[in-house]
Structure 1
Amino acid sequence: MNTATVEHREIRVASACQIEDRLNSAVEDLQAIATRTRTHGILVTRLNPGHYRVSLSDQVPFGLTREHTH
């Protein structure tokens, strides 16, 4: 999947109990940015165990969040 990204957050967690809170926080941050332009959705990519990237993406319609495994 080739994706152009504008803004992103890198998330690294040491335990599974941290994943949901950290990802939700990153998604909320990027939702605020996406709302201003209304041109990008949010793509969550698992890069490795405990390592994620949450990005604004022009490949995801505004208002949607999609997951992708790298």
Structure 2
Amino acid sequence: MTSASTLPVRWRKSSYSSTNGGECVEVGAGLPVVPVRDSKDPHGPALIFESSAWSSFVAAVQCDEFRAM
């Protein structure tokens, strides 16, 4: 099993992080997979997604597909 802690990850945080009380995730860049972790717990666990799955999720968020009815 691959762990984000064993990968050479460059983490980036959303520019919106400071506008919502810091409740954001950080996304790893420069890998064939996309690790995602809680920005408040940088040494904690990370979820690892296939790039295609992460791209689909981001596209759905941008299209507002998760908005509550």
TM norm structure 1: 0.31
Q: Decide which structure has greater helix share.
A: 1
Greater gyration radius = 2
TM norm structure 2: 0.31
